[in-house]
A and B are shown apart, each in its own frame.
Chain A
């Protein structure tokens, strides 16, 4: 019989040890920290069903609907002058707002990660602000500023300049909603990479620009690319904000998402889905690129963190 534990230690008397344990000679064992197989199967089924219904079906559906009338019809839709101008405008808007936010992102990340100053956390929070603002409000704020009710409203109309209900307004609204993408990719990356390489370059005599081009940029290239891709995807797909600032005049201030809405409301469902499947395809391409770059980015981050430890 096992020795009774000392009562002073307040331990539990486990009783007779001869019938203590299950007879498991014939039971297959599993790791102490693994679930029973049926639990595993249940969870996997549950997760995949959820994803299948909420993700899989829409994805399949958009391509199924988009190819219903065949590729010929789709090309016909794309070459329609209205659609063409929508495509053109989308690219112009993205082509302006993405580089703008890119430059901002780099500048903000440089200021935040290479220097110490008070209010840094506040600045980072403010940069994230556009993410918590509804796209409709994003459009609204520019209407308030540059539209009829705004401080510049009369001045602009006097000079025959249009911002709201014209392309500049769309650019502004798109820039707002895609504002944080590049910055919030670069900030953690550059924070992990530290300042030592740039300081070393300076000590060796490099100018500010040389330091940036030759030292910083190569280190952040994957993070930058990642941010740009996300920024671009959102810029091309933005709907709510653009809808508010657009004049909805066909052929003038219509981007691809707006054109999809127009076709849909015109009961040209097939046409709407043709365009939609195009954007969905671009979305998938974005995902593929994103996944590929993510791996490169993680490697760069890991390398930077290893340097910090050693």
Chain B
């Protein structure tokens, strides 16, 4: 079932959480809402769930083309999973999952054997079939979140909404559950929307990512699209480590060292100063100048602990500081030491107007 939000605005007092936001999610997609705290992603999710409502007259929520804007959560049939699970502590695992089935109106409620069957199927799906009689306080965080998901799935929702589902778990469990969520989605194909502030999670799990900032959508696209072709400085910065290179404006480009880099956004002559954004692993170092390796710099620090080598360099022309990430082989090949003077080539450069501060 597709989900669409149109022109949603939501204010809390003076604070605008969502600002005329539009988004369409196709049936069966697995979409991540990514953004920093305060970007409005949880508010958007809750509005879709029916736990919050947009400002009166300010927006619509549609499930499969039908407007549900004013329907309360209990009638939207959207499964919701909370960051802190919100499991019913007084019920065991089995009863937690069965809850949605038990509160169905009598005409729709399945008979007891059927409820048992469905719940047990779900317990198997989340690999907790031996834990049905346990209580939430007796489970680990990862187990609790799986129960919460099973509980949301038990009534067969057409859309699944997850609010930072793995945020309260430690790193290893998070990775396992991410993989598990992907598998689950491939099996069940429920339209799924999840909120996260962890870019790795979004890029790894989702089929499409919507990046939010200050209540607006900065960019929507596949993980590859938004990582390789970020539409704005914010998206670029949010998705990974970044170096900023200031240079001389030169017509429609920015000149750094002896190389010119065209402005990536809306071509044409530069009206404001612009900055070049480069990832640490997109910088090549050579001992001699040549080709595009025209920027002179000095090596300040080398850190080779870990899977790759991280270097700190300082530009010779304006003392600007930047990071470079090399593989161990590249590092050993170059035999770099602190104090060496080198020439760097910048690749995959994105140039944005200088109106964004990190």
Interface residues in A, total, Cβ within 8 A:
25
Any B CB within 8 A of the CB of A30: yes
**Chain A at the B interface: mostly helix, strand, loop or mixed?**
loop
Segment from B14-22, B152-160, B232-240, B327-335 that makes contact with A: B152-160
Residues of A within 8 A of B110 (CB): 12
Any B CB within 8 A of the CB of A6: yes
Of A2, A27, A32, which contacts B74 at CB under 8 A?
A32
Any B CB within 8 A of the CB of A249: no
Check B27–A3 contact: CB distance below 8 A: yes
In the complex, A3→B28 CA distance in Å?
Answer: 8
Question: Quick one: closest A residue to B189, CB to CB?
Answer: A3
B17 to chain A, nearest CB (A): 16
Size category of the B interface is 35 or more
Residues of B within 8 A of A10 (CB): 117-118, 121-122
B277 to chain A, nearest CB (A): 38
Check B66–A20 contact: CB distance below 8 A: yes
Check A14–B156 contact: CB distance below 8 A: yes
Any A CB within 8 A of the CB of B187: yes
B236 to chain A, nearest CB (A): 35
* Proximity string of chain A (1-14) to chain B, C-beta cutoff 8 Å, 1 when within and 0 when not: 01101101111111
Of B51, B75, B118, B153, which contacts A21 at CB under 8 A?
B75
B44 to chain A, nearest CB (A): 16
Q: Most chain-A CB neighbours within 10 Å: which of B51, B72, B118?
A: B72
Contact A12:B68 (CB < 8 A) given known A2-B1, A3-B189 = no
Check B28–A12 contact: CB distance below 8 A: no
Any B CB within 8 A of the CB of A160: no
Check B77–A18 contact: CB distance below 8 A: no
Check B121–A29 contact: CB distance below 8 A: no
A22 to chain B, nearest CB (A): 7
Any A CB within 8 A of the CB of B263: no
Any A CB within 8 A of the CB of B180: no
A184 to chain B, nearest CB (A): 28
Q: Which 8 A-B pairs have the closest CB atoms?
A: A11-B156, A10-B121, A32-B73, A12-B156, A24-B70, A29-B70, A2-B1, A10-B118
| 27 examples of A-B residue contacts, CB within 8 angstroms | A5-B188, A6-B188, A9-B121, A10-B121, A10-B122, A12-B118, A14-B77, A17-B63, A17-B64, A17-B158, A18-B66, A20-B63, A20-B66, A21-B63, A22-B75, A24-B67, A24-B70, A25-B69, A28-B70, A29-B71, A31-B52, A31-B53, A31-B72, A32-B72, A32-B73, A32-B74, A33-B51
